[in-house]
Structure 1
Amino acid sequence: MTRLLPSLLYAVFVLLATTAARAETVRTAAVFDAVFVNSSPQPTTPEEKARIARLTAQLKQALDKSGQYHVIDVASIKPEVDAVRDVHDCNGCEADLAKKAGAQVAVVAWVQKVSNLILNMNIRIVDAATGAPIKGGSVDIRGNDDLSWNRGLKYLLEEHVFNATR
């Protein structure tokens, strides 16, 4: 038993150090509502409004589940957020808003509809203290339906957010 004690203590130390290191890498994230930019001649449909709301919820859930981010509630800064027309296009105000909410990073997402066939989905994550971009990406999706939106988000998260080296 006394021979096992040093090995057991070492294993506990490694486990605690690994857990602490993981905890340090989890960033608090202020995720703002995704924005739908309709530059097509067609009016925005109720289905598109529902998809953009679902996109926000799916993004928050995926970030929280990843273990890389802890999504915080931004309700405390709702008046400031509501005063901004588009958080994704406000000349860097998302960093200031995230900082006010107590987050380390700001996350913005938007979908631009060119037509019912061509849409562009985007995510940007910036450091709340400096406004510097941390991660982000863009993907063109074909088809304006739940399946294409879900696949677009999955691709963005896997290729540009969770696996990005930047």
Structure 2
Amino acid sequence: MRALITIATLLLSGSGAFADPPKLAVFDFELIDTSLPGEFYGSKPEEARLDRISEQLRKELAESGRFQVLDIAPVRDAAQHSNLQACGGCDLKLAGELGADIEITGLVQKVSNLIINLNIYLRDVKTGNLITAASADMRGNTDESWTRTMSYLIRNRLLAPNYGRP
């Protein structure tokens, strides 16, 4: 466990342990919609929001200089036709095909229009080990609440200097 924390610290702190930033595959976020409206009408507004927060995460992590964010276009179709959270490691296989060192999958769980949870999982592609996870609840189902929640997780979890340290 301490080794994983050390790897996470090195990856997330930008300490220069790598000559080049690690190659990162950020997959599109997935949605679990257990809300009543979602059951009846589908999750149309959320689908566009999933795309926006996925791009927001890629952009902000690339701009941080701590990661070399890879284009997932070659495997996007395969990823979208899989449940990356429960496919038995297909996310790691797809990230490996891209040449990634680490990968991120994400999940938004919509309980209702008032209760939504955003989860980010960062894994080592070679070992499959979870390096870190970040999660935040949001209240309200608006473009602004989704964007702000993602910004919070990036700033205070994924890029925070002390996140993941004992």
Q: TM-score scaled to structure 2, two decimals?
A: 0.79
1:87: how far off? 1.3
- Number of aligned positions between the proteins: 146
The alignment status of 1:48 with 2:46, answered yes or no, reads yes
In structure 2, how many angstroms separate the alpha carbons of the residues matched to 1:128 and 1:37?
Answer: 24
Match of 1:71 in 2: 69
The alignment status of 1:128 with 2:125, answered yes or no, reads yes
Structure 1: gaps spanning 5 or more residues: 1-20
1:80: how far off? 3.6
Q: Which secondary structure state, in structure 2, belongs to the residue aligned with residue 123 of structure 1?
A: strand
Match of 1:103 in 2: 100
1:145: how far off? 0.6
Aligned-residue CA RMSD in angstroms?
2.0
Q: TM-score scaled to structure 1, two decimals?
A: 0.79
Tell me the alpha carbon deviations over residues 88-138 of structure 1, each in whole angstroms, 9 at most, x when there is no partner. Answer: 332332222111111111111111100000000000110000011112211
Greater C-alpha Rg: 1
The percent identity for this pair of structures is 35
Instruction: Give yes or no for contact 2:21–2:65 (8 Å, CA) kept in 1.
Output: yes
Structure 2: gaps spanning 5 or more residues: 1-15
Q: 1:156 pairs with 140, 149, 153, which one?
A: 153
The verdict on how the C-alpha distance between 1:64 and 1:147 changes in structure 2, with shifts beyond 3 A counting, is: same
The alignment status of 1:37 with 2:32, answered yes or no, reads yes
Instruction: Give yes or no for contact 1:106–1:127 (8 Å, CA) kept in 2.
Output: yes
Q: Which secondary structure state, in structure 1, belongs to the residue aligned with residue 36 of structure 2?
A: coil
Instruction: Give yes or no for contact 2:33–2:43 (8 Å, CA) kept in 1.
Output: no
In structure 2, how many angstroms separate the alpha carbons of the residues matched to 1:55 and 1:67?
Answer: 19
In structure 2, how many angstroms separate the alpha carbons of the residues matched to 1:80 and 1:151?
Answer: 29
Comparing 121-130 and 152-161, the one that deviates more = 152-161
In structure 1, how many angstroms separate the alpha carbons of the residues matched to 2:65 and 2:78?
Answer: 28
1:37: how far off? 1.2
Instruction: Give yes or no for contact 1:135–1:160 (8 Å, CA) kept in 2.
Output: no
Comparing 75-84 and 88-97, the one that deviates more = 75-84
Comparing 118-127 and 96-105, the one that deviates more = 96-105
- Amino acid of the residue matched to residue 62 of structure 2? D
1:38: how far off? 0.4
Instruction: Please identify runs of 4+ aligned residues in structure 1 that moved more than 3 A.
Output: none
The alignment status of 1:165 with 2:164, answered yes or no, reads yes
1:46: how far off? 2.8
1:25: how far off? 5.7
